[in-house]
């Protein structure tokens, strides 16, 4: 079993996503540290994972698959250009996203702080009788509403 992330309240998760969408990574890290008591390294790793999920959500699935095909052909620069245009990303975001694709990142898969899918990690919280953390995790990593995330967590059994 992987090490569980501390509970991040939904309102903090929402604020962090808002900060990340504005490129305010340092403020996002500070918010997470204040809310959870995480040390700087763990909070930064958590934010990096959230940032990648947020960036990934901006890129249409079709563009992601085309970018993977370009990477398979050794055309990383073309892949960056494609995801930037398709997702409205900045240069840094586009490069980071393509690097993550090269490293094996997939939608809904762990990017930091634990192995497995979002469902696997949420199930760990459910197994520990911590439904609130499971719902917060699903909301933070998928963008679901509280109601949708609750139904998802309930379906995990």
> What is the residue-level pLDDT of the chain in tens, covering all 157 positions?
344 567 788 888 888 888 987 889 999 999 999 998 889 998 898 888 888 888 888 899 999 999 999 999 999 999 999 999 999 999 988 999 999 888 887 776 544 445 568 888 888 888 888 888 888 888 877 888 889 889 999 998 7
**2 neighbors 115 (Cβ within 8 angstroms):** yes
What values do phi and psi take at 117, rounded to 5? Answer: -80, 170
N- to C-terminal Cα distance for the chain?
18
Q: What is the spatial distance between Cα 31 and Cα 57, in angstroms, rounded to a whole number?
A: 22
Give residue 113's pLDDT.
Answer: 45
- Report pTM: 0.56
C-alpha Rg value of the chain to the nearest Å: 16
- CA angle, 100 as apex, 95 and 105 as ends, to 5°? 150
Nearest to 87 by CA among 49, 51, 61: 61
Number of other CB atoms surrounding residue 1 within 10 Å: 11
- CA angle, 76 as apex, 70 and 81 as ends, to 5°? 85
Q: What is the spatial distance between Cα 138 and Cα 153, in angstroms, rounded to a whole number?
A: 8
């Amino acid at each position: 079993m992987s090490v569980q992330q501390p509970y991040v309240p939904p309102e903090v998760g929402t604020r962090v996503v808002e900060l990340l969408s504005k490129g305010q990574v340092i403020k996002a890290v500070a918010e997470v540290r204040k809310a959870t008591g995480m040390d700087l390294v763990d909070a930064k790793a958590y934010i990096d994972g959230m940032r990648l999920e947020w960036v990934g959500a901006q890129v249409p699935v079709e563009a992601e698959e085309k970018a993977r095909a370009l990477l398979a052909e050794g055309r990383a620069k073309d892949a960056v250009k494609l995801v930037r245009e398709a997702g409205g990303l900045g240069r840094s975001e586009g490069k980071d996203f393509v690097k993550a694709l090269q490293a094996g990142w997939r939608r809904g898969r762990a990017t930091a702080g634990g192995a497995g899918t979002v469902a696997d990690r949420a199930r760990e919280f459910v197994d520990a009788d911590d439904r609130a953390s499971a719902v917060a995790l699903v909301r933070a990593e998928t963008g679901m509403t509280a109601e949708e995330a609750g139904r998802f967590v309930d379906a995990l059994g």
